[in-house]
């Protein structure tokens, strides 16, 4: 049972590292917004600023305190779930973000639910028919869709499926109480755009990782045993290639959450990205900080999961020398 | 009757053909004009159809919006506000004169310092409560209070006292103002129960629709209010406004028929969009204008000859055609156009005249280049416009150097600070409010540093003058003074560019504000197939 003990220890180490990294990121975010030119108070009041009003607002925002004090009071707030209030409308950030985050995760979930199995399946097929026409076609199409910028893919999808064919709505406004089926219809095009963007990366990685394993001696054994090509790939090659695949899948999942700003704006999808853009243009620093931190947490969290999965899947990492 | 004629009259009714073109074509078919006109009237005045769900895709909405009318600055809350709220007075789409809404009639005192507004009876708020004169008084009090954050404070500053006398609200002004009814058309001044003092963002008003869904930055829905007091507006069953800040998203939503109306069509996409089936562009000249402004008190612009030279060295028509692709109307160096009540007709149009410009330029004695600052935020196409201006002026031997400034901080560092730059102005409800905002000595934003006592006196006299013809005369003098002596170069008044689906009927061309003076939602109806 020493095996499980050391796994738990390793996982605990990874989590601790992740938390440390997140702390470092929080310092960076805070410093980044700190060195923006001009102070928040004067950018809120703008033209109408009188010295008295500026001073009142600075005191209200706590800007008269030294930066280090403000950092720790911000961090303390974040740790207790209090993200502060938005400067532009004095609303609680945490409660404003919650539905937006849910929307972003909803879109990311369905994009992932389509793209991950599809990518792995395509990867398997490409390996099965490696270097043949099928392999080349799959790789070519996937690479082409990845090399196109996402806004271009988005506009092409809108033009074909919304404007010309009228199959799907061209914009993806979703709201509370929207029937599930309508909601799915609304997100069809943005989910498709995201799928096309992340597909090739995962597919190529799956293909490469499995091909790598296919060179091993035990695959030859399996072949000699008389297993079918597809069974060999599925039962022997894939499990051993899982670590790098999980890694790249997590990386792409992270992109689905934090990288969707452009897609959300094009498709008018009320997620985190739009929320961030609205507030960046108003220089609403607390909101930008909060969103930045959430994005960082998602990114680090997903990578953590990838690491842990890799540890569990790989005996060599489980028993480090 | 010829089928073709019938078809043509429907084309006019759906906005695909102008009235004048129709009459021309009718004449070509051998139809006498009176008959053609009556035919047209029949088609255009088709009975509004009731029912249907209207959807609009509008830019200008953010997750920071509120239902409190005092906070409205952008198109989405403004348009949504007109579905559930109403003002006392509205400006006529035809001539800009005041028309009654929640106020039934009004009466000024001799010197226009005291105004009595009769409040309409039998109007109810969406919470069932009767609207009273007290609610009206409280609303105006809330917006005119010194400590208010209401954007309407500026226009209400002269109100000294508000009192209620039965069904009448009495306004006492610090100075006579013949325009008070027009000032009360401001879209912020939505009458709320107890003036919104208790709950400013409750979204309770007297409008034809009541608030159903309010998701700032995402969408807003309002549905028909059964107790509404009149039936000439509010034809559709429900209005949904979807926030679409991306221009391409708006256009594709309109093209695919998922929304009926969009706002802010970019001039360069008009041509393409107007060819799309089922789509109609609604362009209407606005009071807003794009300008180049010179400080009349700063060298070298303190020289009247130099100012005149620059005014003569700009080719307004070319600028309209190249920068706004024709979607604008000619400016004449004073900030008023036909959309204002008492517009001074017949002032000679200033034209591009490099020879005259050269003459004035030489007489000014100025030598060397002139620095013109511009930025993309000054107005859409301002950088191109400045470069075009420089090129046009070079024909008169004037060397304009264009300096592009960053958009960030343009309104604090450049506009109203540097002596020569590009800028824009939105319209104001009256000539008086336009001149008082930017052209009289001591105005809040006198961005041309135009200090002329004679001019100020004209504006003050006109403000309290109740005799319309005398007033019109005064405004002609004011316009001429700004045009000839001021620091304003006004090449163009930009158009409002909206677009609608063909099945949207009853669109009123209204120059007072975009999307049919923000009231497209309550004015149109949906033609059922």
Residue of B nearest to A169 (CA): B258
Confidence of residue B22 (pLDDT cuts 50, 70, 90): low
Query: Who among B64, B246, B411 is closest to A47 (CB)?
Result: B411
Tell me whether residues A170 and B62 touch, CB distance under 8 A: no
Instruction: Decide the pairing of beta strands B420-425 and B279-294.
Output: antiparallel
Instruction: State both tokens at A217.
Output: 């001696």
- Tell me which residue of A132, A150, A78 sits closest to A296, measured CA to CA: A78
Residue ranges and CATH numbers for the domains of chain A are: 92-311 (1.10.3720.10)
pLDDT per residue as tens digits for the range B356-403: 999 999 999 998 999 999 988 888 889 999 999 999 999 999 999 999
Tell me what pLDDT residue B1 has. 43
Tell me what pLDDT residue B29 has. 60
CATH of range B207-260+503-526; options 3.30.70.20, 3.90.1150.10, 3.40.190.10, 3.30.1360.120: 3.40.190.10
Instruction: State both tokens at B291.
Output: 């300008």
CA distance A52 to A42: 12
Q: Does B269 touch chain A (CB under 8 A)?
A: no
- Tell me which residue of B441, B398, B184 sits closest to B308, measured CA to CA: B398
Q: How far is B61 from chain A (nearest CA, A)?
A: 9
Confidence of residue B489 (pLDDT cuts 50, 70, 90): very high
Tell me whether residues A89 and B66 touch, CB distance under 8 A: yes
Instruction: State both tokens at A63.
Output: 């800007």
Residue whose pair of structure tokens reads 């609009």 in the numeric block? B56
Tell me whether residues B219 and A173 touch, CB distance under 8 A: yes
Superfamily designation of domain B286-494: Dipeptide-binding Protein; Domain 3 (3.10.105.10)
pLDDT more than 70, % of chain A: 88
Strands (E), B185-250: 209-215, 219-224, 238-243
pLDDT more than 90, % of chain B: 67
Region B324-345: what's the mean pLDDT? Answer: 92
Contacts of B57 in chain A (CB under 8 A): 171
Instruction: Assign B424 to helix, strand or coil.
Output: strand
CA distance A292 to A239: 35
pLDDT at B11 over 70: no
Q: What is the DSSP string of A276-287?
A: HHHHHHTT-HHH
Number of other CB atoms surrounding residue B346 within 10 Å: 6
Q: Does B29 touch chain A (CB under 8 A)?
A: no
Q: How far does chain B reach from its first CA to its final CA, in angstroms?
A: 23
CA distance B255 to B262: 10
Residue of B nearest to A43 (CA): B409
What's the Cα-to-Cα distance from B317 to each of B284, B322, B380, rounded to whole Å?
Answer: 18, 9, 17
Q: How far is A138 from chain B (nearest CA, A)?
A: 31
- Tell me which residue of B265, B329, B330, B286 sits closest to B428, measured CA to CA: B286
Tell me whether residues A88 and B219 touch, CB distance under 8 A: no
Contacts of A274 in chain B (CB under 8 A): 63, 217
Q: What is the DSSP string of B292-339?
A: EEE-TTSTTTT-HHHHHHHHHT--HHHHHHHHSTT-EEE--SSS--TT
Query: Who among A169, A265, A282 is closest to B64 (CB)?
Result: A282
Query: Who among A47, A166, A275 is closest to B63 (CB)?
Result: A275
DSSP, res B48: P
Instruction: Characterise B201 by phi-psi region: left (phi > 0), alpha (psi -120 to 50), beta (else).
Output: alpha
Interface probe, candidates B56, B57, B59, B62, chain A, greatest A C-beta count within 10 A? B62
Region A7-27: what's the mean pLDDT? Answer: 89
Confidence of residue B40 (pLDDT cuts 50, 70, 90): low
Tell me the fold of B86-196.
Answer: Dipeptide-binding Protein; domain 1 (3.90.76)
| A320 or B251, greater pLDDT | B251
Tell me what pLDDT residue A46 has. 52
Q: How many CA atoms lie within 13 A of B166 on its CB side?
A: 3
Query: Who among B217, B248, B412 is closest to A155 (CB)?
Result: B248
Confidence of residue A40 (pLDDT cuts 50, 70, 90): low
Confidence of residue A1 (pLDDT cuts 50, 70, 90): very low
Give residues with Cβ within 8 angstroms of B147, minimum separation 6: none
Query: Who among B218, B255, B411 is closest to A270 (CB)?
Result: B218
Instruction: Decide the pairing of beta strands B168-173 and B159-165.
Output: antiparallel
- Name the residue ranges covered by the structural domains of chain B: 3-45, 86-196, 207-260+503-526, 286-494
Give residues with Cβ within 8 angstroms of B229, minimum separation 6: B120, B122, B123, B124, B206
pLDDT at B105 over 70: yes
Give residues with Cβ within 8 angstroms of B138, minimum separation 6: B194, B195, B196, B197
Mean pLDDT of chain A: 83
Q: At what angle do helices A285-313 and A238-258 cross, to 10 degrees?
A: 180
pLDDT per residue as tens digits for the range B169-207: 999 999 899 999 999 999 999 999 999 999 999 999 999
Region B300-305: what's the mean pLDDT? Answer: 94
Q: Is-cis flag, bond preceding A115, omega within 30?
A: no
What's the Cα-to-Cα distance from B428 to each of B341, B412, B496, rounded to whole Å?
Answer: 11, 22, 15
| Contact (Cβ atoms closer than 8 angstroms) between residue B234 and residue B209 | yes
Instruction: State both tokens at A146.
Output: 């990845």
Tell me whether residues A171 and B242 touch, CB distance under 8 A: yes
Mean pLDDT of chain B: 89
Instruction: State both tokens at B146.
Output: 């010194």
Residue of A nearest to B253 (CA): A170
Q: How far does chain A reach from its first CA to its final CA, in angstroms?
A: 17
Burial class (CB within 10 angstroms; exposed 0-12, middle 13-18, buried 19+) of B164: middle
pLDDT per residue as tens digits for the range A222-276: 888 888 888 888 888 878 888 888 888 888 888 888 878 888 888 989 888 888 8
Contacts of A163 in chain B (CB under 8 A): 252, 255-256
CA-CA-CA-CA torsion sign (B29, B30, B31, B33): positive
CA distance A259 to A281: 18
CA distance B187 to B85: 9
> For chain B, what is the total number of helices (H) and then of strands (E)?
18, 19
pLDDT at B140 over 50: yes
Instruction: Assign B509 to helix, strand or coil.
Output: coil
Between residues 184 and 243 of chain A, which touch chain B (CB distance below 8 Å)?
none
Interface probe, candidates B55, B59, B61, B64, chain A, greatest A C-beta count within 10 A? B64
Contacts of A263 in chain B (CB under 8 A): none
pLDDT per residue as tens digits for the range A77-121: 888 888 887 776 677 888 888 888 999 999 999 999 999 999 988
| Contact (Cβ atoms closer than 8 angstroms) between residue B274 and residue B318 | no
Instruction: Assign B148 to helix, strand or coil.
Output: coil
| Contact (Cβ atoms closer than 8 angstroms) between residue B178 and residue B110 | no
Between residues 204 and 223 of chain B, which touch chain A (CB distance below 8 Å)?
213, 215, 217-219
| Contact (Cβ atoms closer than 8 angstroms) between residue B381 and residue B319 | no
Q: How many CA atoms lie within 13 A of B14 on its CB side?
A: 17
């Amino acid at each position: 049972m020493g095996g499980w003990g050391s796994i738990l220890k390793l996982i605990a180490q990874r989590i601790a590292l992740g938390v440390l990294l997140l702390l470092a990121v929080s310092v960076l975010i805070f410093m980044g917004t700190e060195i923006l030119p001009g102070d928040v108070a004067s950018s809120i009041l703008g033209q109408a600023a009188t010295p008295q009003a500026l001073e009142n607002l600075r005191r209200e925002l706590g800007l008269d305190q030294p930066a280090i004090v403000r950092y720790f009071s911000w961090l303390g707030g974040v740790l207790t779930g209090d993200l502060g209030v938005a400067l532009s409308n004095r609303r609680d950030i945490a409660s404003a973000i919650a539905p937006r985050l849910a929307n972003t995760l909803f879109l990311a979930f369905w994009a992932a639910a389509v793209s991950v199995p599809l990518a792995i399946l395509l990867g398997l097929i490409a390996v099965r028919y490696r270097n043949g026409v099928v392999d080349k076609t799959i790789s070519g199409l996937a690479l082409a869709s990845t090399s196109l910028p996402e806004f271009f893919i988005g506009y092409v999808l809108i033009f074909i499926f919304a404007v010309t064919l009228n199959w799907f709505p061209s914009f993806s406004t979703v709201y509370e109480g929207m029937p599930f089926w309508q909601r799915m219809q609304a997100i069809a095009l943005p989910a498709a755009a995201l799928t096309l963007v992340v597909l090739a990366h995962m597919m190529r990685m799956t293909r490469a990782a499995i091909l790598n394993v296919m060179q091993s001696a035990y695959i030859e054994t399996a072949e000699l045993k008389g297993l079918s090509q597809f069974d060999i790939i599925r039962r022997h090659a894939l499990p051993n290639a899982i670590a790098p695949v999980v890694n790249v899948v997590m990386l792409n999942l992270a992109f689905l959450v934090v990288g969707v700003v452009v897609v959300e704006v094009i498709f008018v999808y009320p997620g985190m990205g739009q929320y961030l853009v609205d507030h960046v243009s108003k220089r609403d620093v607390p909101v930008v900080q909060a969103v930045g931190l959430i994005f960082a947490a998602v990114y680090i969290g997903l990578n953590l999961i990838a690491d842990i999965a890799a540890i569990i899947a790989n005996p060599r990492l489980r028993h480090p020398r | 009757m010829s089928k073709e004629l019938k078809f043509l009259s429907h084309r006019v009714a759906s906005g695909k053909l102008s009235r004048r073109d129709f009459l021309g074509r009718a004449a070509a078919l051998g139809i006498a004009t009176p008959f053609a006109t009556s035919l047209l009237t029949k088609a255009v005045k088709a009975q509004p159809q009731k029912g249907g769900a209207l959807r609009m895709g509008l830019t200008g909405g953010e997750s920071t919006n509120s239902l409190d009318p005092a906070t409205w600055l952008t198109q989405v809350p403004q348009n949504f506000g007109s579905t559930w709220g109403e003002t006392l007075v509205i400006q006529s789409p035809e001539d800009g004169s005041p028309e009654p809404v929640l106020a039934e009639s009004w009466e000024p005192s001799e010197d226009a310092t005291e105004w009595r507004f009769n409040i309409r009876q039998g109007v109810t708020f969406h919470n069932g409560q009767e609207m009273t004169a007290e609610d009206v008084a409280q609303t105006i009090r809330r917006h005119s209070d010194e400590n208010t954050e209401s954007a309407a404070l500026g226009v209400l500053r002269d109100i000294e006292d508000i009192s209620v006398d039965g069904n009448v609200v009495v306004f006492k002004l610090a100075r006579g103002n013949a325009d008070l009814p027009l000032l009360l058309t401001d879209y912020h001044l939505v009458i709320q129960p107890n003036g919104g003092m208790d709950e400013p963002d409750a979204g309770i008003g007297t409008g034809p629709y009541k608030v159903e869904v309010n998701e700032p930055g995402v969408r807003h829905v309002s549905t028909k209010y059964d107790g509404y007091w009149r039936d000439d507006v509010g034809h559709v069953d429900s209005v949904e406004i979807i926030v679409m800040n991306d221009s391409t998203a708006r256009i594709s939503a309109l093209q695919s028929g998922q929304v009926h109306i969009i706002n802010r069509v970019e001039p360069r996409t008009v041509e393409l969009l107007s060819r799309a089936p089922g789509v109609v562009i609604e362009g209407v000249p606005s009071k807003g204008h794009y300008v180049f402004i010179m400080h009349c008190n700063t060298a070298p612009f303190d020289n009247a000859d130099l100012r005149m030279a620059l005014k003569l060295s700009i080719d307004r028509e070319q600028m309209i055609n190249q920068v706004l692709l024709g979607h604008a109307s000619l400016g004449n160096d004073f900030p008023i156009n036909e959309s204002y009540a008492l517009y001074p007709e017949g002032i000679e149009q200033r034209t591009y005249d490099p020879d005259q410009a050269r003459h004035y330029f030489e007489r000014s004695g100025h030598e060397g280049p002139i620095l013109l600052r511009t930025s993309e935020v000054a107005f859409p196409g301002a950088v191109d416009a400045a470069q075009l201006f420089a090129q046009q002026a070079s024909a008169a031997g004037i060397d304009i150097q264009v300096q592009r400034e960053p958009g960030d901080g343009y309104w604090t560092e450049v506009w109203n600070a540097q002596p020569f730059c590009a800028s824009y102005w939105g319209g104001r409800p009256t000539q008086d409010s336009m001149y008082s905002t930017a052209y009289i000595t001591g105005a809040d934003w006198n961005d041309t540093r135009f200090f002329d006592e004679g001019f100020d006196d004209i504006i003050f006299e006109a403000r309290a003058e109740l005799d319309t013809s005398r007033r019109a005369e005064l405004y002609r003098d004011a316009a001429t003074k700004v045009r000839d002596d001021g620091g304003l170069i006004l090449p163009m008044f930009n158009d409002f560019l909206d677009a609608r689906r063909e099945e949207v009927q009853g669109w009123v061309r209204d120059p007072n504000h975009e999307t049919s003076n923000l009231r497209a939602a309550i004015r149109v109806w949906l033609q059922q197939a």
